Amino acid sequence: MRATVRGTLSGTVQVPPSKSVAHRMLICAALASEPCTIVCHSVNRDMEATVQCLNALGARISYDGGSFSITPISKVTKGATLDCAESGSTLRFLLPVAAALGADAVFTGQGRLPNRPLSPLYEEMTAHGIRMSENGRMPLTCQGTLPGGNYTIDGGVSSQFISGLLMALPLSGADSTITITGNMESASYIGLTLNALLTFGIKVECTGNTFRIPGGQRYSVPASKVAVEADWSGAAFWIVAGAAGAKEITCKGLDYMQSAQGDRRIVDVLREMGANILVTADSVTARPSDLTATTIDCADIPDLVPVMAVAAAAAQGTTRFDNIKRLRIKESDRVESILSMLSGAGITAYATENTLTVTGGPARSFTYDPCNDHRMAMAAAVLAVVRGIGVTLTDTECMAKSYPGFLDDFNAMGGELTIE
């Protein structure tokens, strides 16, 4: 759907659940010994992809009334086709998990997913006896049973490779280690995986850059219902809209002190830029502020860069984003997508291989193609309201990948949406 967005936002929004947390909980529940309920008050396309793949492997997962009902895999479906849609998390988590189950699965996907990197996970799995079709092409066949043992993964590409192995290797009959080499990217996401594993009774020891996973473990169901916490990645759009816009916005359902999500750092980054942000036990309120430029290390928060670039466009001075090269292998080349968005608005910005520089200033209305990237479409909508311009989005459906209700919340807070 093509639409023009503009207006002034204010009010309160209930933040949707985190798809990062949901992926992990759904996989753990599908591997458990007994049925489980996971409270999750809304779903998105990436969550649906993980559910579809787990059901294809033999689980029975349904969604109704704000919760998932999960009957775990009792007998693995051999030779199933797992359609990961456009979800990189689904593919990278379930590739080693399906191999640990001996599922002999076939993986498919759409959009840029077939081109997103699987190395070095691909090479490490084949080195341990898994037979896979050519890397970089789909369908991707995966045959054999992943054994326990010693695994080595370069941490500089994606933490999802490590998370996938952490969820898979407890199923092996032998003890395992995962040794991380190089720089660890998005380390906080490993924390989300370890939290999910602990919730479902799996033990993992971490010493330095090595994880030790006892083999022969069984996933167990928590004593009470578990709930998917609110998504800081989605909340970041509204927090920036409040801090850089004309009126305050409150995001409900966020626990800044207890959350393990790395993207809660949006609060810290905006405060460094001068934002007036109030944090309570279950909410974050961002008030209109005079933002100033800063330097931001993005190694652990790559998903925040599109909306932080919007904050930089509204700030006084020049903001530099470091360690951004991984943005080129997301749903779009996000470095180029950000530059296209900002240049369309008349904002000065440029990039090197690993840095992005944005100079704040006045903006103009423009038409923008988000390249089927949910975060870029939502960032452009926030740019419209904080700079007081109209932005015509050539595609809004892509927002459903992570936040299907984004435009509904946008309208409810006073935004104007004109469908063309």
Question: Each residue of 61-82: b (16+ CB within 10 Å) or e?
Answer: bebeeebbebbbbeeebeebeb
Residue ranges of alpha helices (H) inside 3-87 are: 19-30, 45-57
Residue 308, by phi and psi: left (phi above 0), alpha (psi -120 to 50) or beta?
Answer: alpha
Task: Look up 255 and say whether it is catalytic.
Answer: no
Q: Which of 46, 104, 263, 303 is catalytic?
A: 303
Tokens of 278: 């109030």
Q: Peptide bond before 139: cis, by omega within 30 degrees of 0?
A: yes
| Separation CA 317–CA 294 (nearest Å) | 8
Dihedral in degrees, nearest 10, Cα atoms 307, 336, 381, 377: -100
**Cβ partners under 8 Å of residue 158, min gap 6:** 88, 92, 117, 185, 186, 326
Classify residue 150 as exposed, middle or buried by CB count within 10 Å of its CB (0-12, 13-18, 19+).
exposed
| Separation CA 243–CA 237 (nearest Å) | 10
- Percentages of the chain per state (helix, strand, coil), in multiples of 5: 35, 25, 40
Dihedral in degrees, nearest 10, Cα atoms 22, 181, 141, 49: 10
| Separation CA 50–CA 92 (nearest Å) | 11
Tokens of 259: 């959350």
Concatenating the DSSP letter of every residue in 255-285 gives: -TTT---GGGGHHHHHHHTT-EEEE-SSEEE
As annotated, the active-site residues are 303
